Amino acid sequence: MKAKFWTLAAALALTPSLAFAHPHIFAEARLEIVSDDKNEISELRNIWRFDELFSSSVVLDFDKNSNAQLEPDELAEVGKTVLDSLQEYDYYTTILDNGKNVKVLKPAEIHADYKDGQLLLFFSVKPAETVALKGKMSFGVYDPSMYTAMDFPTDEDLVLVGDKVNACAHKVVRPDPDEVLAQNQSSLTDAFFTDPTGTDMSKMFATRMELTC
């Protein structure tokens, strides 16, 4: 059960295949970037809502009593599966601190819900090291395998929480795919055919919140 869910949901890159170069799962995301009174980023709060087709496949895999619903214990199992599976991929949560990638700590729990035919996941992650509000930073959510398309429906779905972080200059950046391809055509082509599942290409296309403090 866990293996099937992970194959559907996560960025495993188990088989180097061109099929992994475009998304098979679609999710709408909300990201809250939270600062504390020490002038640091304290946590990133995630909400993900998955497409109905993928959500229905999760029901099939985790519906132990076959009632076409996900009961609390079944939802808890979904959350635990994602918690264990996405650790290697930093839970699709990215932090760039003055040009340096910062990993995140494993969250204590991932809460799952199923409403109106869609799977929802709620969780918070903390930076694995101090991220001071100084210089240039960016925050976003993306799947490095490009298997899952993570989308922020509006700019308001990237949120700054806290007086300290809101004092920084900030903007939501939505890269133009055509421009990204045109500017990086040679390097993208070489990287993809060398290792299509390990290039981290999707980072170039990912929507993000940029801060200057």
The secondary structure of 8-25, three-state, reads HHCCCCCCCCHHHHCCCE
Both structure tokens of 130: 């101090």
Spatial neighbors of 90 by CB under 8 A, at least 6 apart, are: 103, 104, 125
Q: How confident is the model at residue 41 (pLDDT cuts 50, 70, 90)?
A: very high
Spatial neighbors of 173 by CB under 8 A, at least 6 apart, are: 138, 207, 208, 209, 210
Helix (H, G, I), strand (E, B) or coil at 71: coil
Q: What is the dihedral of CA 125, 128, 134, 135, to 10 degrees?
A: -90
Q: Which amino acid is at 28?
A: E
Which structural domain, as residue segments, surrounds residue 164?
Answer: 2-212
Report the domain count for the chain.
1
pLDDT of residue 178: 58
Residue 90: in which H helix or E strand, if any? none
More confident residue, 4 or 57: 57
pTM: 0.81
pLDDT of residue 92: 93
Both structure tokens of 167: 């004092």
Both structure tokens of 103: 């990993």
pLDDT in tens, 139-172: 999 888 778 889 999 999 999 999 999 999 999 9
Residue 95 in this model has a pLDDT that exceeds 60: yes
Residue 192: in which H helix or E strand, if any? helix 177-194
Place of tokens 């475009």: 22
Residue 26: in which H helix or E strand, if any? strand 25-35
Residue 148: in which H helix or E strand, if any? strand 148-151
Given a contact cutoff of 8 angstroms between Cβ atoms, the answer to whether 162 and 36 are in contact is: yes
Given a contact cutoff of 8 angstroms between Cβ atoms, the answer to whether 140 and 33 are in contact is: no
Q: Which of 2-6, 133-137, 169-173 has the lowest mean pLDDT?
A: 2-6
What single-letter DSSP state applies at residue 116?
T
Mean pLDDT, residues 58-70: 89
